[in-house]
């Protein structure tokens, strides 16, 4: 099994698509943080010695941006970036990793060498997960550098203690868990459609449907039964994990997105269990579809 994972990782690490997606993830993170920095700088009059100030946002929102630009809050912003922009890129990565096996005609050769389709699928998912973990780690490393630099310009002395250090691996695990259902649904689409395009379409359609159903969370205000049923969907539990990551590094998501009612979100244990349950369901269906279908040559 380890040899299969090494082989998948070797192939994945040498695909140009992976490096393009990683570059997009890092560049967009820098651009977004610099945009927030300009908002705070204009508000504080940093470039005009305090003589001219531009009030673009409320004081509370500006303060939240200031926290997101310095340590340790920038780590919460980095994990939020991973679960927004990174989640979209993870769908493309998963679709390319599995769907291209059909279009290139390499799946038949791989299964001839290793007939176990379960092991093949697990190795593929493990390689994708390792790539996502590496991407998250690089974003956090970049966040640390930016936090120190921007904090010095803003005159905010950031902190990086033991509590922050211990919160980082937990935050990485949450961020990976948030992306897991969408990755698994992408794999389902790639197997059913036998192409990377079908996988990406399946992942993005599920994402749109999930976000749309997440709007039903307001029904939780009507009764406890409706709140329980709505919180069995993926999106409320995803939101709960994202909010946890933000709060772990001193951020308050309700300030930036006041429309999100945090009181309706499920608890952390339920969020983890529900996301894992949906991911396991999609994973089982992906294996069932892969196991019962014939594998042809190149398309």
pTM of the predicted structure, to 2 decimals: 0.94
d(CA 107, CA 7): 14
From first to last of its 299 residues, what are the pLDDT tens digits of the chain? 888 899 899 989 999 999 999 999 999 999 999 999 998 888 887 776 655 555 567 788 889 999 999 999 999 999 999 999 999 999 999 999 999 988 888 888 888 777 789 999 999 999 999 999 999 999 999 999 999 999 999 888 888 889 999 999 999 999 999 999 999 999 999 999 999 999 999 999 999 999 888 777 777 777 788 888 889 999 999 999 999 999 999 999 888 776 677 888 899 999 999 999 999 999 999 999 999 877 755 54
Cα–Cα distances in angstroms (integers) from residue 294 to residues 105, 108, 118, 136, 291, in the given order: 13, 9, 15, 36, 8
φ and ψ at 160, to 5 degrees? Answer: -145, 90
Report the pLDDT value the prediction gives residue 237, as an integer from 0 to 100: 96
Cα–Cα distances in angstroms (integers) from residue 245 to residues 14, 239, 264, in the given order: 31, 10, 17
* Exposed/middle/buried for residue 72 (C-beta within 10 Å: 0-12, 13-18, 19+): buried
Report the pLDDT value the prediction gives residue 293, as an integer from 0 to 100: 77
d(CA 209, CA 298): 32
Q: Determine the straight-line distance between the first and last CA of the chain, rounded to whole angstroms.
A: 28
CB-facing half-sphere around the CA of 178: CA atoms within 13 A: 29
CB 8 within 8 A of CB 127: yes
d(CA 20, CA 16): 6
* Exposed/middle/buried for residue 266 (C-beta within 10 Å: 0-12, 13-18, 19+): buried
Per the listing, tokens 């990793």 go with 97
d(CA 74, CA 146): 8
Q: How is the chain classified by DSSP, letter by letter?
A: -HHHHHHHHHHHHT-HHHHHHHHHHHHHHHHHHHHHHHHHHHHHTGGGTTSS----S-HHHHHHHHHHHSTTHHHHHHHHHHHHHHHHHHHHHHHHHHHHHHHHT-HHHHHHHS--HHHHHHHHHHHHHHHHHHHHHHHHHHHHHHHHHHHHHHT------HHHHHHHHHHHHHHHHHHHHHHHHHHHHHHHHTSHHHHHHHHHHHHHHHHHHHGGGGGGGT-HHHHHHHTTSHHHHHHHHHHHHHHHTT--HHHH-TTS-GGGSPPHHHHHHHHHHHHHHHHHHHHHHHHHS---S--
């Amino acid at each position: 099994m380890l040899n299969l994972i090494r082989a998948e990782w070797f192939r994945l690490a040498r695909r140009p698509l992976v490096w393009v997606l990683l570059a997009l993830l890092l560049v967009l993170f820098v651009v977004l943080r610099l945009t927030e920095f300009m908002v705070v700088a204009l508000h504080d009059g940093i470039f005009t010695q305090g003589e001219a100030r531009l009030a673009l946002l409320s004081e509370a929102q500006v303060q939240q941006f200031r926290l997101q630009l310095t340590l340790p809050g920038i780590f919460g912003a980095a994990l939020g970036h991973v679960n927004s922009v990174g989640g979209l890129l993870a769908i493309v990565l998963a679709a390319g990793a599995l769907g291209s096996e059909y279009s290139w005609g390499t799946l038949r050769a791989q299964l001839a060498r290793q007939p176990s389709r379960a092991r093949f699928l697990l190795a593929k998912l493990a390689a994708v997960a390792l790539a996502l973990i590496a991407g998250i780690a690089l974003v956090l490393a970049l966040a640390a550098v930016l936090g120190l630099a921007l904090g010095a310009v803003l005159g905010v002395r950031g902190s990086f203690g033991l509590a922050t250090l211990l919160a980082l691996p937990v935050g990485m695990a949450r961020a990976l868990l948030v992306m897991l259902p969408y990755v698994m649904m992408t794999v389902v689409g790639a197997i059913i459609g036998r192409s990377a395009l079908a996988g990406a379409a399946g992942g993005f359609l599920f994402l749109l449907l999930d976000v749309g159903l997440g709007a039903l969370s307001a029904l939780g205000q009507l009764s406890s039964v409706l709140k329980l049923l709505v919180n069995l969907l993926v999106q409320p539990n995803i939101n709960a994990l994202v909010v946890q990551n933000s709060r772990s590094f001193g951020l308050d998501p309700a300030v930036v997105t006041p429309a999100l009612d945090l009181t309706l979100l499920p608890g952390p244990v339920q969020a983890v269990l529900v996301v894992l349950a949906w991911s396991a369901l999609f994973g089982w269906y992906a294996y069932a579809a892969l196991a019962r279908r014939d594998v042809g040559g190149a398309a």
